[in-house]
A and B are shown apart, each in its own frame.
Chain A
């Protein structure tokens, strides 16, 4: 049972344009959400997070939007750069526990 889903396995975007990565979750107990970036053969690195008491969090080129009623979050990268090419995972903390549940990932390719 996949509690955190990323329905787009891959996304291709032109350099300078906006990248939008989407994530859906099913567990209403999740209250903290994160996005990670992962290069091949490396561990994920934290990008940005959002608490369920907010609907938007911005950090430089990265903005995360949360729609709790739809159980949906998205990561916007503006402008996209070739160095942003990687696999992006969304993740959620499982309710009152410290279990971090990851989505299936989206491979972003930013074309020069």
Chain B
């Protein structure tokens, strides 16, 4: 079965600092990978998705970016964090409509 790893689990960063969140997937190949953010009162917002290495689609304009350097690795980055970037970030792996897995998430607090 598939397993999604995310790290770090929690992160506290000052405004203006850079960010790198990593997601890796085990147990599958060529998955569709997704980054979601859960912010207070805003549900789960799709940020980026990738259907393959180097292929990134951005869903919302923001100061975040994503990269997929390897088949089972998905990275969320920022050069300068904003207060509004605080939230719970989830990586997900979807293989078709019947198979969806979510990682444990990263709690980011920007101060």
Chain A contacts to B: CB under 8 angstroms:
2, 6, 9, 32, 34, 41-46, 49, 89, 91, 93, 98-105
Q: How far is the CA of A100 from the CA of B59 in the complex (A)?
A: 12
Q: State the main secondary structure of chain B at its contact with A.
A: strand
Q: Which residues of B contact A45 (CB under 8 A)?
A: 102
B102 touches A44 (CB 8 A): yes
Q: Return the contact of A41 from the options B36, B94, B98, B107 (Cβ within 8 A).
A: B107
Interface size on B, residues (CB 8 A): 26
Q: Which residues of A contact B45 (CB under 8 A)?
A: 102
Q: Which residues of A contact B100 (CB under 8 A)?
A: 34, 46, 100
Q: Return the contact of B36 from the options A32, A98, A102, A103 (Cβ within 8 A).
A: A102
A102 touches B46 (CB 8 A): yes
Q: Which residues 64-111 of B have a CB within 8 angstroms of A?
A: 88, 90, 92, 94, 96-98, 100, 102-105, 107
B104 touches A43 (CB 8 A): yes
Chain B: CB-nearest residue to A40? B88
| Seed contacts A98-B49, A100-B94; 10 additional CB < 8 Å A-B pairs | A43-B92, A43-B104, A49-B97, A93-B97, A98-B32, A98-B94, A98-B96, A100-B46, A102-B36, A104-B42
B41 touches A9 (CB 8 A): yes
Chain B contacts to A: CB under 8 angstroms:
4, 32, 34, 36, 41-46, 49, 51, 59, 88, 90, 92, 94, 96-98, 100, 102-105, 107
Q: Which residues of A contact B42 (CB under 8 A)?
A: 104
28 A-B pairs, CB-CB below 8 angstroms?
Answer: A6-B43, A32-B97, A34-B100, A42-B105, A43-B92, A43-B105, A44-B90, A49-B97, A49-B98, A89-B43, A89-B44, A93-B97, A98-B49, A98-B94, A98-B97, A99-B34, A99-B49, A99-B59, A100-B46, A100-B94, A101-B46, A102-B43, A102-B45, A102-B46, A103-B43, A104-B41, A104-B42, A104-B43
